């Protein structure tokens, strides 16, 4: 049994409910789903996300190399800094949506579960003579997600040193006597963190966080927080044929002045033209039934989009989805129809 499987079994032994989300076996929740949601919104929660992708780039040329393969400015990053980015193919289609974390001796490319091989393959394809060493960091390091407005209070209680306040800033500290990396992300709302630790230390870190007043939550609560935060997941909301500007994260993930990189011509052409033909947006539904993935959205007699992922939002007290809609239908307040009843475009994050 692998270290990650042992960790999952240890968590399962606490009474967690196992199930599937997006085709992966996962811990759906630990107890009362309403209490888990409340912890994310008003307190602080911890979740097992140890199956997320982590790829390490080491070597003197790592920044220049990654800079030439993604949509953001990697050369400007200093240790402790970070950014979001897209890796693209030559036609400008998205191969990966990633968080980039710059460290003293490496760069970590972090993404949703199951994309290690694809990211390593894309990077290795263009690695010729550069002084860069690529490796699967998720073999040795797992991650926990901290979410909720009281995160700083809990971390300070544990004596952990927080990184800078900028989005995707990161730094080294200690929790439960173990060296960890704290990484700011907005996976579950502004101010959330990924805590990366050696896999053998994950349970100690988990227990210390829980003993400090953090509520364990499962994948269902994480997914609800993710959708309410408008944080897209590659393979679910972002598809292999998606274009970067369709995702509506231009200000976070794309630098339009950095110069050439793989797929840059398509990004520049779309920017010059001024638009794409569809956008990823938030959609609120009337009623109580959560729409399934691929549920169609229409405007009158015309189908204009489809749901990518959905949940029941406690904040809205209604089903909430992320969905693609055609240009012209993406405006906040736009009324749409669906098999689940009336729907309305809403601004994300909530």
Residue 170 forms beta bridges with which residues? 183
Domain end point (choices 273, 305, 335): 273
DSSP 199: G
Q: Give the model's confidence band at 2: pLDDT under 50 very low, under 70 low, under 90 confident, else very high.
A: low
The verdict on 145 and 20 lying in the same domain is yes
Whole-angstrom distance, CA of residue 227 vs CA of residue 231: 6
List, in order, residues 6 or more apart from 32 with CB less than 8 Å away.
none
List, in order, residues 6 or more apart from 275 with CB less than 8 Å away.
245, 327
Element (H, E) at 195: strand 192-198
Whole-angstrom distance, CA of residue 96 vs CA of residue 110: 10
The verdict on 119 and 142 lying in the same domain is yes
Least confident segment among 10-14, 57-61, 104-108: 10-14
181 phi/psi in degrees, rounded to 5: -115, 125
DSSP 139: G
The verdict on 262 and 163 lying in the same domain is yes
Please state the rounded mean pLDDT for residues 270-276. 88
Sign of the Cα pseudo-torsion (197, 200, 202, 205, in order): negative
Whole-angstrom distance, CA of residue 80 vs CA of residue 338: 45
* Total number of domains constituting the chain: 2
**What pLDDT, on the 0 to 100 scale, is given for residue 234?**
97
Q: How would you class 128 by CB atoms within 10 Å of its CB: exposed for 0-12, middle for 13-18, buried for 19 or more?
A: exposed
The verdict on 201 and 310 lying in the same domain is no
Q: Is the pLDDT of residue 6 over 90?
A: no
Q: Is the pLDDT of residue 133 over 80?
A: yes
The verdict on 160 and 307 lying in the same domain is no
Domain end point (choices 238, 273, 308): 273
**What pLDDT, on the 0 to 100 scale, is given for residue 14?**
81
**What pLDDT, on the 0 to 100 scale, is given for residue 1?**
58
pLDDT digits (tens, 9 = 90+) for 77-86: 999 999 999 9
Q: Give the model's confidence band at 104: pLDDT under 50 very low, under 70 low, under 90 confident, else very high.
A: very high
Task: Give the CA distances from residue 244 to residues 93, 139, 278, 282, 349, in Å, rounded to whole numbers and listed in that order.
Answer: 7, 29, 11, 17, 19
For residue 5, give its domain range.
Answer: 1-273
The verdict on 195 and 302 lying in the same domain is no
The verdict on 260 and 289 lying in the same domain is no
What is the three-class DSSP state of 332? Answer: coil
Residue 281 forms beta bridges with which residues? 323
Domain end point (choices 273, 306, 337): 273
The verdict on 148 and 99 lying in the same domain is yes
What is the three-class DSSP state of 42? Answer: helix
The verdict on 27 and 44 lying in the same domain is yes
List, in order, residues 6 or more apart from 34 with CB less than 8 Å away.
314
The verdict on 198 and 321 lying in the same domain is no
Q: Is the pLDDT of residue 3 over 90?
A: no
Q: Are the C-beta atoms of residues 195 and 146 closer than 8 Å to each other?
A: yes
**What pLDDT, on the 0 to 100 scale, is given for residue 10?**
81
The verdict on 180 and 209 lying in the same domain is yes
């Amino acid at each position: 049994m692998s270290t990650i499987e042992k960790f999952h079994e240890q968590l399962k032994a606490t009474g967690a409910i196992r199930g599937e989300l997006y085709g992966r076996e996962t811990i759906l929740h630990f107890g009362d789903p309403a209490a888990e949601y409340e912890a994310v919104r008003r307190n602080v929660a911890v979740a097992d996300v140890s199956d997320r992708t982590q790829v390490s780039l080491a070597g003197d040329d790592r920044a220049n190399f990654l800079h030439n393969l993604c949509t953001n400015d990697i050369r400007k990053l200093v240790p402790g800094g970070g950014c979001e980015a897209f890796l693209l193919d030559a036609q400008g289609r998205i191969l990966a949506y990633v968080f980039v974390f710059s460290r003293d001796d490496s760069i970590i490319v972090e993404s949703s579960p199951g994309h290690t091989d694809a990211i390593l393959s894309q990077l290795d394809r263009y690695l010729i003579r550069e002084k860069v060493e690529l490796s699967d960091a998720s073999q040795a390091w797992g991650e926990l997600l901290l979410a909720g407005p009281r995160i700083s209070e809990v971390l300070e209680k544990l004596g952990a040193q927080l990184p800078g306040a900028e989005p995707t800033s990161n730094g080294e500290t200690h929790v439960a006597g173990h060296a960890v990396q704290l990484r700011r992300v907005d996976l579950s709302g502004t101010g959330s963190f990924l805590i990366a630790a050696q896999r053998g230390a994950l349970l100690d870190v988990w227990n210390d966080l829980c003993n400090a007043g953090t509520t364990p939550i499962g994948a269902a609560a994480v997914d609800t927080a993710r959708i309410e935060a408008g944080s897209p997941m590659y393979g679910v909301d972002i598809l292999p044929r998606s274009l970067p500007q369709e995702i509506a994260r231009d200000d976070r993930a794309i630098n339009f002045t950095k110069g050439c990189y793989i797929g840059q011509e398509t990004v520049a052409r779309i920017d010059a033209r001024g638009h794409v033909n569809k956008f990823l947006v938030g959609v609120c539904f009337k009623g109580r039934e959560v729409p399934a993935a691929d549920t169609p959205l229409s405007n009158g007699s015309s189908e204009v989009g489809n749901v990518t992922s959905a949940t029941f939002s406690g904040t809205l007290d209604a089903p909430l989805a992320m969905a693609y809609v055609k240009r012209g239908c993406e405006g906040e307040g736009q009324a749409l129809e669906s098999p689940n009843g009336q729907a309305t475009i809403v601004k994300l994050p909530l």
